[in-house]
A = this chain, B = another copy of it.
Amino acid sequence: MKPENDLILRAARGEKTERVPVWLMRQAGRILPEYRAIRNKLSSFNELVETPELAAEVTLQPVDILGVDAAIIFSDILVVPEAMGVGYKMVKGKGPVFHSTVTTQAEADKLRIADPGSELKYVTDAIRIVKKELNGRVPLIGFAGAPWTIFAYMAEGSGSKTFSAARKILYQNPALAQDVLNKVTETTISYLKAQIEAGADLVQVFDSWAGILPEQQYKQFALPAIERICEAIDEVPVTVFAKGAYGAFDALANLPCRTLGVDWNMNIQDCRKAAGNKTLQGNLDPCLLYAPDEDLVAGTQKMVSAFGKDKYIANLGHGVYPDTDPQKVKLFIETIKTL
């Protein structure tokens, strides 16, 4: 069923749209008091992610409250390593902490190629509920982490400023890294296909730690895995967001995907030039949402002028920060809608 508001899908396919579509990375969760009311009743972040009714509820909140042009399923990129056998919990003020890591061949051998129909059923169940509740109002975005980013967390066992434990493996045991990347890639493809089967109208691949790799290693390890995913997904448009991949943007432009994400430090003109016929998505500095209204409006207008209104999906250049005032987010969205 074609959504009533299919602006994002048309922009992703490179078609003309009567106005620029807009959504926010991390819109589901974090900033809304309505989200926190639900989250605070639970004992853990994981419980929210793994309870389809609640994940669906917080997925729908920004559609109703903020007026975005798409919903994105509330989940986390780390559900994939968990489904493969490497679980984690979210620790306040610290981020994800894994119960075990993958740094040896024995640990890699123990990884399962997850079956999304069983191990990730809570995500597809949530998608089905969201689709029913949305009732065709706006498209639903599914997502997964890119294999390099997932591998980085699996090797490190937590977030990191340097991800040196993961990067060490690329130098010391590239075959092990490749083995894990292959397993993650395979799981990710079937996971995204399951999301699409359940109703996702578009999927985004997040390579959050793209920027930590030297260009050559990004092209050797990270990019081929994303390429395999893009090649495998032909049911819906695919967006690839490789944060900080300045040196590899030209190569990203050759991926068989429809849309490329642009972070707030990337030069819009350079990205437009490199991206050719692709749609671009981004890239407002999330901190501009702290600015006075007139600066936020002016910055938003400037961004759209730089991208141009065609082949463009407005968004931030990073996930929205948790202490952002929802009124500012509404102003950002309204500004885009009235341009």
Contact = CB atoms under 8 A, between A and B. Distances in A.
Interface stretch (A33-41, A72-80, A107-115, A157-165): A157-165
Interface stretch (A118-126, A141-149, A167-175, A186-194): A167-175
Nearest to A264: B214
Contacts of A237: none
A30 to B, nearest CB: 12
Contacts of A46: none
A177 to B, nearest CB: 12
A137 B46 CA distance: 58
Contacts of A42: none
A287 B318 CA distance: 26
Interface of A is mostly: loop
Contact of A246 (B168, B171, B265, B285): B265
B287 A167 contact: yes
A212 B286 CA distance: 11
Interface stretch (A53-61, A127-135, A195-203, A290-298): A290-298
Nearest to A283: B214
B265 A215 contact: yes
Range, interface on chain A: 20 to 34
How many chain copies does the complex carry? Answer: 2
Interface string A252-280: 00000000000011010000000000000
A14 interface: no
Interface in A287-331: 287-288, 290-292, 295, 318, 321, 323
A285 B172 contact: no
B215 A164 contact: no
A136 interface: no
A183 to B, nearest CB: 22
A161 to B, nearest CB: 7
A295 B173 CA distance: 12
Interface of A: 159, 161-162, 164, 167-168, 170-172, 211-215, 244, 246-247, 264-265, 267, 285-288, 290-292, 295, 318, 321, 323
Given A164-B321, A171-B291, A247-B265, 15 more contacts: A159-B161, A161-B161, A164-B286, A164-B287, A168-B287, A171-B287, A171-B292, A171-B295, A172-B290, A172-B291, A211-B265, A212-B265, A215-B267, A244-B265, A246-B246
Which 9 pairs from chain A and chain B are nearest by CB?
Answer: A171-B291, A167-B287, A168-B290, A246-B246, A164-B321, A171-B290, A214-B285, A214-B264, A172-B290
